[in-house]
Structure 1
Amino acid sequence: MHILIVTDQHPESLGGVQVAIRLQRRFLERLGHRVTIAAPALHRPGTETDPANAEAYIDLPSRPITKDREYGLSWPGARTDRALAARLAELPRVDLVHVQGDFWGALIGLRAARGLRVPVVLTLHNNVDEGTRAVSPGLAPLAFRALRVWRGITLGRVRPVRRGGPDGRGAVDRSANGAWRYLASLAAEASIVTAPSPHFAEALRVHGVAERVAITPNGVDDEAIAEVRALPRSARTRPRLVWLGRMSAEKRVLEFIEAVAMSGIDADVALHGAGLLLGKVERRIAELGLADRVTIPGPVPYRDALAAIHDADALVQTSIGFETQGLTPFEAAALGTPTIFCDRRIAADVAVSPSWRVPDSSVAALARTLSAAVERLSAEAAAGTQLRVAESESRRFLQSTRVEELVEVYERAVALKS
């Protein structure tokens, strides 16, 4: 098969979705499939597409939308359509469009699929409703209306596929509200809708986005995991906890800092990441007198992030209700590192032992769980043992185990179209 993936951001930019798409391409190609990825061209200074990837990438006309020029926007319309069509005309016929974007990537991908007359698999990676409300609660209703208007301008009327058919697709569910209704208008034109986790698939069903949602979890890079697993773990005198992510409100990094202070744990805590709250995080660490325990290495390359997880005694996952998969706990499980979960749904998706689950969303509950985890980790270390996830459990998180599931979804979508 020749699969065209269309997404919101270039696969060489930073982000979990981008990592997942790069992995999907590599493992699909190993099975003999061809993968072409269309996304906004990069604008970050000094960044050029790796020549080895040039044939697989279609850089769409774009403009930068962030101060660091990491991310760009491609406007869905005739100019972008022409640029995409011109490149595709040089390649073998596309069999399927896999849309892995929620905004311009989704609109561009659906327009392309209409022109190519091929089926669409739509993977919804982001909780647009929850994320928008977390960032700008007052403006969220206006933003959701604007998304629906934008979709109408660029795509016209919704064209439901296989209305009432066995795949459960059909017209937009008018009971869907907020961003869910916008996502439902995208999903109506897809042969198959997928989500990266059971809990987000259920949310999409409950909110009327799609009647049936296939689950296609993002896997973890087999080679990177094997390489990092072979690294020796550093010496330590007390347990080491690691947190990774964007320092923003929905990630609850400030709540984590408060919980570390409240718990009084004797542990080293490393925060890998940056974001809008970085300054507040640094000030709060100083105010609470935690500088001897909490450090901020900052953002690191993917392999270094994996190495930090592997070296830690436990990963701390703090967001609640925001993540659609929460890839870092999956990476931790693949590396054998236990996780302290704040989101019970992510904990249920990962479903490995040992782990800890914070019973509620309060800082006090997180503090108590941190104390219990550090106490057990310290006891294991005193006994000369390490608390790790068994390798037999870790294997199911590797990309090599996930790619066959994705191919089955593609084959089903093609069959539905024929």
Structure 2
Amino acid sequence: MHIVFFGDQHLASLGGAQVSMRLQKQYLERAGHTVTAVAPKMHNGSVFGWPNPFDLPSIPITLDREYSMSWPGRRTDRFLDRAFAGRPPVDLVHVQADFWGAFIGHRFADRHGIPVVHTMHNRVDVGMAAVTPLHRQALAVLNLWRRQSMRGIGQPVAGNDGWAFLRGIAQGASAVTAPSGHFARRLEQHGIFPEVDVVWNGIDDELLASILATRGERQPGRPRFVWLGRMSPEKRLLPFLEAVVASRVDADIEVIGGGGQLRAAERIARGHDGIRFAGRLPYGETLARIAAADAVVQTSIGFETQGMTPFEAATLGTPTIVSDPDIATELGGGLWTVPDASVAALAETLTRAASDIRAGGAPVPVPEVAEAFRQSSRTAAMIEIYERVLAAP
């Protein structure tokens, strides 16, 4: 098969969806398939070996130039059609985007009569509410943009909320997948698609084996907590650091990642000498840090459609402090739950986790989660969906 991925952001940029797409591409190619990735060109120079003739003309949209956007329209359509001219025929489009990448991908598939599998990665309503007080107005504008960009694809979808937006971008798809059971259920309940396939994002089998083979026994010392992700409001890094300072927890805290809230995070961290900012790290090094930690800290609530870090941690044998009850339910065990969204509750949970770790009583992740999170099994599940879609009339 020749499969074309469409993403909102370049596969070399920071983010769980991008990590997942890189792994999917790698494992599909190992299985003998051809994968082409289409996404906006990056502007900060950090492509990590991912130069791509299908990188779309784009403009940077964040101060650090990590993230970009491409405008869906005839100019982009023409660019893509030229890029694919003379290339092997495309069998299937896999849209893994929620904004411009979704519009562009569906337009491409519709022009060429290619079936679409659409993976939903984003709780658009929660994400918008987290980053702007004008989220209702922003969603109305997004829905207007969606109607204009996807005119003539599927059936018209009215409405101006986040669920109307997701219903609209699912139009024209032959299958919709979600990276967790809890998100799949919500998508079905809100009429996004009649039956949503659940395919977790995964972890590289070989890298997992390498890290587990070199992981030693825990060394004595202060408990080691790691927080990782994009430094933006919906990820709730700042409340985490406030909880660290308020609790005065006797632990080493490592923060991995980057983003717009770095300076604010550094200001808060001045109140605690155990906090260290590691910056952005390669994927393999990030997993090694998770494996070496005593606990991963997950702080976003309601935003994550899966939340990869707790699953990566469980696969590596590291328990997680979990703020999101949906993620806690999906993990099934190997965690400390934070009872509510307050800084005080998080501070108390950090203290409790540190005490359990020092006493040798940390919870143990569920083995079945670790096995089901391997990328080889996730790719096999996705190939079954591809084959089902291609076999349909």
- When normalised by structure 2's length, the TM-score is 0.92
**Distance across 2 between alignment mates of 1:298 and 1:71:** 16
Distance in 1 between residues matched to 2:46 and 2:299, nearest whole Å: 34
Residue 224 of structure 2 corresponds to residue 226 of structure 1? no
Q: Which residue of 2 aligns with 1:5?
A: 5
Q: Which has the larger radius of gyration?
A: 1
* Matched position secondary structure for 1:109: helix
Would the alpha carbon gap of residues 142 and 91 (structure 1) be closer, same or farther in structure 2, given more than 3 Å must change? same
CA distance 1:399–1:356, change in 2 (3 Å)? same
Structure 1 residue 63 and structure 2 residue 27: aligned? Answer: no
| Pair 1:346 & 2:342 matched | no
Equivalent residue letter for 1:260? V
Residue 188, structure 1, aligned to residue 171, structure 2: yes
The alignment status of 1:297 with 2:273, answered yes or no, reads no
Secondary structure at the aligned position of 2:278 is classed as coil
> What is the one-letter code of the residue matched to 2:130?
A
Q: Which amino acid aligns with 2:79?
A: A
8 Å Cα contact 1:158/1:185 also seen in 2 = no
Shift in CA distance, 62/282, structure 1 to aligned 2, threshold 3 Å: closer
In 1, the alpha carbon distance for the partners of 2:374 and 2:46 equals 32
Question: Do the aligned partners of 1:123 and 1:195 also contact (CA within 8 Å) in 2?
Answer: yes
Query: What amino acid is the match of 2:89?
Result: R
Number of the residue aligned with 2:139: 144
Deviations 1:77-118 (A, max 9, x none): 222212212222322211111111111111111111111212
Distance 1:337 1:46 in 2: 30
- 1:278 matched residue in structure 2: 262
Q: Equivalent residues in 2 for 1:146-161 (5 A)? A: 146-160=141-155
AA matched with 1:221: D
Match of 1:412 in 2: 388
1:268 aligned residue (239, 252, 264): 252
Shift of 1:17: 1.2
Residue in 1 aligned with 2:180?
197
* Structure 2 SS opposite 1:408: helix
1:395 matched to 2:345: no
Counterpart amino acid of residue 39 in structure 1: A
Q: Indicate the SS of the match to 1:143.
A: helix
Aligned residues: 392
Q: Give the SS at the match of 2:214.
A: coil
With over 3 angstroms needed to count, the CA separation of the structure-2 counterparts of 1:302 and 1:80, relative to structure 1, is same
Partner of 2:348: 368
Of 183-192 and 262-271, deviating more is 262-271
Query: Residues 62, 158 of structure 1: CA spacing in aligned structure 2 closer, same or farther, 3 A cutoff?
Result: same
1:144-177 deviations in Å (ceiling 9; x for gaps): 12222222222213424xxxxxxxxxx64x5x65
Structure 1 distance, partners of 2:47, 2:321, is: 36
Q: Structure 2: which amino acid aligns with 1:315?
A: V
Give CA-to-partner distance per residue, 1:125-150, whole Å, 9 cap, x none. 11111111110022x12221222222
Structure 1 257/39 Cα, relative in aligned 2: closer, same or farther at 3 Å?
A: closer
- Structure 1 counterpart SS, 2:300: coil
Pair 256,71 (structure 1): closer, same or farther in 2 beyond 3 Å: closer
Contact 2:121 2:305 in 1 (8 A): yes
Q: Deviations over 1:371-398 (max 9, x none)?
A: 22221211118xxxx8653666522211
CA contact (8 A) 2:23 2:204 kept: yes
2:312 corresponds to 1:331: yes
- Asked if the contact 1:5/1:97 (under 8 Å) is kept, the reply is yes
Q: Distance in 2 between matches of 1:179 and 1:393?
A: 30
Gaps of 5+ in 1: 161-170
**Following the alignment from structure 1 to structure 2, what is the Cα–Cα distance between the partners of residues 277 and 357?**
25
Look up the match of 1:237.
221
Give RMSD over aligned pairs.
2.2
Question: Structure 1 vs Structure 2: percent identity of aligned residues?
Answer: 49
CA distance in 1, matches of 2:326, 2:142: 28
Give TM-score, length-normalised by structure 1.
Answer: 0.87
The residue identity in structure 2 corresponding to 1:152 is R
SS in 1 for 2:201: coil
Instruction: Return 5+ residue gaps in structure 2 as ranges.
Output: none
Is the Cα contact below 8 Å between 2:320 and 2:336 reproduced in 1? Answer: yes
Distance in 1 of aligned mates of 2:191 and 2:288: 40
Which amino acid letter does the alignment assign opposite residue 23 of structure 1? L
Mapped to 2, the partners of 1:179 and 1:390 lie a distance apart of 33
Question: Secondary structure of 1:151's partner?
Answer: helix
C-alpha distance after superposition, 1:282-317 (max 9, x if no partner)? 22232xx411x2222222222221111111011111
| Deviation per residue, 1:319-378 (Å, 9 max, x gap) | 111111111111111111111111110112222x43211122222222222222221211
Q: Equivalent of 2:300, from 300, 319, 328?
A: 319
- The Cα of 1:23 is off from its aligned counterpart by 0.6
